Structures are given as C-alpha cells and as structure tokens.
Structure 1
Amino acid sequence: MTVRRQITGFSNPTVKALRALREKKHRKAAGRFLAEGLRLLTDARECGHLPEVLVLSESRDPHPLLEALERAVSEAGGEVIETTPDILAKITGKGNPQAVAGVFAEFDASLATLDRTSANIWLVAQAMRDPGNLGTMLRTGDAIGAGGLILLDDCADPFGVEAVRASMGAIFTQRLARARWDEFESWLRGGDGQLVAASLRDAVPYRGAPYAAPCFVLIGNESQGLPEAYEAACDLRVTMPMKGRADSLNAAIAAGVLGYEVLASLEEGAGSARQG
C-alpha cells in the first residue's frame, strides 16, 4: 500500500529543497532535477527512469497512469508527497502547475557512456544558450530516431526546468553527453563518425549531400554560429537556402530541417543497398 506524506506548509524544509532545484547551483549540488506532468513522468517510467520523490496535487483527478506511477515509485522505495496546488506551484515555479511532479537523479553525461553505433544520427549543440532550443533539440532527436544530444562548451543546463519542459519527455529517451570541443573531437575521431554542419564555407546543398552513418549534426550558438575552427574540422558542410530576408534559421529549427534530411538520405541509401 502506498504511503503518502502530507505537506501543507510553504515553510516546510522539503518544499524549500524541492523549490531550490529550479536553480542550477542547487541542482548541481544535489545531482537532482525536477520534471512535471503525467505524460512526461509516464514517458520517464516507460524508459526505465523513476522519480526518487513524487509530488502529487491533492486536487488531482484520478487516472490509471498516475496510479501506476505512484505504485511504481512506492515499490522502488521512493517517496510520495501529497500537497496543495499552491505549494506545488511554488515548487515548480509555474502559476498553473500540472497535478504531478517528480525529482530525478541527473544522468551520467560523459562521452564514455555513448555507443555511437547504436544510432545513425546524433545531434550536437555548441554553446547553445536558450534552454527552450535545447529542449526542442532533444524532442527533435527523439522524432528522427537520433541516439542522443551532445552538448559542447558552455551550453544551457539540459536539466533546467525550461529545457525539461521543452523536451516533452525526450530528456528521458535521448542519451545526453557534455564535453569541451577538444574532448569531443578526440572522441569522435577515435571511431566512425561523420561530422556535418550548416555553413557557407565550401558548402554543398543540404539536399542530396553525401551523408554517412553515424552522422553527427553540429549546430552552433544561436547568435554567433559555429567558430571557424569547428566548421573547418567538419567532414561535410552544407548550406540551406534562405529565400526571404532572414539570413539564418533558429538553431533548433535548423537542427530539425537538417536532421530530417539526413534521416531521409540514410534511409534511402539503406533501401538502395537492400535492393541491390
């Protein structure tokens, strides 16, 4: 039987500790992060990730997925807390919070945890500062069947509340790694892997370009793009047409456009190989 701990006071130490996870320094110190929403937490459970602490709103509506989640957390030895909507809003920082939130242990984000042969496409973000863009890239990676997202240099925190929300659960389906450029380049060149970036330097049209698996799609900083040395290190540079006045795409949108083109190219190549 599930045992729920009731919290009714805003000054409760647990409320303060959970609320603090909205700040990067506290997340880093605790090695924990917040996620909210039944769909997102259900995706996490189905991917093998259970929250260590499950926080339920006392005004929630009954739902079989919520019951299954609560049961799984309890059976795994996690804590289940029931509180008011106002306190849940204070914890999540959202004026109209969803009925459930969870606290998860951060993942091992070292390059050594990645198996490059497990997927044909990987997304790579360099110095991406917008957590919404980062979360959207995770979601895009899930959609195109990417193996994960590699964050280079000084990127936004993927475990921040905004990034987790924008990922729509892909934070749990995609592998994550963080590294400096020199560390990544050394790792990449230690095995198979084609590094591709959108560029104007010696670039070919992105449609019909010679993509090869595993393909690492490199997207640069939102305002400055990729450093010249990073572009020069790429195996393939491609260009996407700009028909209007804009001279570039949003970073996350560029990742989606290029990612789907790589996916189509690799699938077409695989189909041709089977027919041959």
Structure 2
Amino acid sequence: MHRTITGFSNPTVKFLRSLREKKHRKQEKRFLAEGLRLLTDARESGRLPEMLAMATKREAHPLLDALIADVTAAGGEVLEMDEEILTKVTGKDNPQAVAGVFAEFDTGLENLDRSKAPIWLVAQALRDPGNLGTMLRTGDAVGAGGLILIDDCADPFSVEAVRASMGAVFTQSIAQARWEDFIGWLRAGDGQLVAASLRDSTDYRTAPYASPCFLMVGNESRGLPAEYEDACDLRVTMPMLGRADSLNAAVAGAVLAYEALAHLRWKP
C-alpha cells in the first residue's frame, strides 16, 4: 500500500515517533532504521521493513526503487511525507530521505549457532548505544558471528545504536541474556571465553586464542565484575603507554577482535 501523509498529527506519524522511545519499541516489538544505505544492507541481508517512510522531495535512486518494489511486493506500506514531518519522525534536523520500521529480532541465546564463526563479541552492562553499535560494526568487519549482550545493556534497537552499527544490526546475530544463563549456555558446548582485564592477564599479542572465541568487554566505567573474570578461560591486557589507564570499551573490543582474527586465521 502506498499513501501520502500531510499532517503532523497523523496517527502513523505519532506511531513512528514513538519508536524512538524504548518502552514503545518493546510494546510494539518494532524499531526504526534510517538511511538508504542501511536499509539496502537490511534488504540484502534478507530483512525488509514493514513500513517505509520517505521524503516527498527526494533524489531518484535505483536502490530506493528496488527497496520500494520489494517492500510493496512483500505487502508492506510505503509512506510519503514532507521533509519537516520526516524530521519529526527521526528526531534529526537533516533527516536522510528514507526510514524503515522493522520487526525486532528474536534475541534468545538458543538461536545462536556458535559453530558458524570463529569469533563472537560479548559485552557486559554496556550502557552507551554508540559503543554498542560500534561493536556490531566491528563484528561485521572481522566476520564475527554476532554480539551477545550480558545483563543490563543499552537497547540494540535504539535509533542511536542502529545508526552507529552502519547496517551491521542486520548482518550480525544479536543475543541478550543474564550472566548465569550465558555462562551455562557457553559451557554446554565449545567456546573459549576471553576477557579484557588488568588482573593476572596475558599480553593480548601472545595469548593462545582458540575457536570459537568469545571476546568479552565490560561496562565503560566499571569494567567486568571479578567473578565474571574468574569464570573466563583467558584474561588478556593491552599495553597503555600514555596517561590513559584504559581504552574505550568498543575500541578495546575491536583491538582484541582483530588480534584474535590474526591468530585464528593463520593458525597452523
């Protein structure tokens, strides 16, 4: 279905705006993604928006035409609106010309196939949606299986996290679990749990990484709880040669992921 929206008070506009808030996303089990590149990544990953919102005055693009055709063929809704209304929807003064509404994915641990990739990223109590999105993007870059979020993390389906992921929210598996459920699941099969830590740790360049390798970083300000570190198979540290005593959580995850990739990729 294709229709044009002309008023700010339209119920559909209110629905779209509500998805910027976590409580409404959880209630509707839907989330918002913005930008043609990101929506194209979703389409190429086999995920189509249920609803496509576009600025009435927009530049023609073959990827947008393909997206519109696929959404229409799948029974989705295509909406056109003035840029001012789209600004209200996205919360950005300069919105990109297209946004989509997607059904949230099932984030249960039982959906993960640990054998599909040599590296997995794990984040505990990660609070910044930008860091979360960056970790998804890193996971995509290193060919990780996905990102497992432990305990109370930022919402992976927030507008900020989805935007920061640069489309990786659609290419990476995402799971959410409490620590006790995660460690039980992990120990029920193969998997080396590696923590970024300063305590009794090995230099990250010489550590004996093993596949499937689960690389875990902790909260931005507190790091990992001691009992979580104790449960790991390996603790690694990165040298800090300046005044800073730690790296940003997402940066630390990226450094570890590429080092583990180098070891596992060329391991005899």
Q: 1:120 Cα deviation (Å)?
A: 0.3
Q: Which amino acid aligns with 1:202?
A: D
Question: Equivalents in 2 of 1:7, 1:199: separation in Å?
Answer: 52
Corresponding position of 1:104? 102
Q: Which amino acid aligns with 1:214?
A: P
Residues 202-226 of structure 1, C-alpha deviations (whole Å, 9 max, x = no match): 1110002100000000010000000
Question: Equivalents in 1 of 2:50, 2:144: separation in Å?
Answer: 27
Corresponding position of 2:158? 160
Corresponding position of 2:83? 85
Q: TM-score with structure 2 length normalisation?
A: 0.99
Q: 2:130 aligns with which of 123, 129, 132?
A: 132
Q: Which amino acid aligns with 1:67?
A: D
Question: Equivalents in 1 of 2:215, 2:168: separation in Å?
Answer: 18
Question: Equivalents in 2 of 1:93, 1:200: separation in Å?
Answer: 40
Residues 107-140 of structure 1, C-alpha deviations (whole Å, 9 max, x = no match): 0000000000000000000000000000000000
Runs of 4+ in 1 over 2 A off after TM superposition: none
Corresponding position of 1:72? 70
Question: Equivalents in 2 of 1:200, 1:40: separation in Å?
Answer: 37
Q: 1:198 Cα deviation (Å)?
A: 1.2
Q: 1:252 Cα deviation (Å)?
A: 0.3
Identity, % of aligned pairs? 72
Q: 1:235 aligns with which of 233, 236, 251?
A: 233
Q: 1:201 Cα deviation (Å)?
A: 1.6
Corresponding position of 1:47? 45
Which segments of 5 or more consecutive residues in structure 2 lack a partner in the other structure?
none
Alignment pair present for 1:28 and 2:30: no
Question: Equivalents in 1 of 2:156, 2:93: separation in Å?
Answer: 22
Q: 1:198 aligns with which of 170, 184, 196?
A: 196
SS in 2 for 1:35: strand
Q: 1:59 Cα deviation (Å)?
A: 1.1
RMSD of aligned alpha carbons: 0.5
Paired positions, count? 268
Q: 1:4 Cα deviation (Å)?
A: 2.1
Which segments of 5 or more consecutive residues in structure 1 lack a partner in the other structure?
none
SS in 1 for 2:110: helix
Q: TM-score with structure 1 length normalisation?
A: 0.97
Question: Equivalents in 1 of 2:31, 2:99: separation in Å?
Answer: 11
Corresponding position of 2:245? 247
Question: Equivalents in 2 of 1:228, 1:248: separation in Å?
Answer: 17
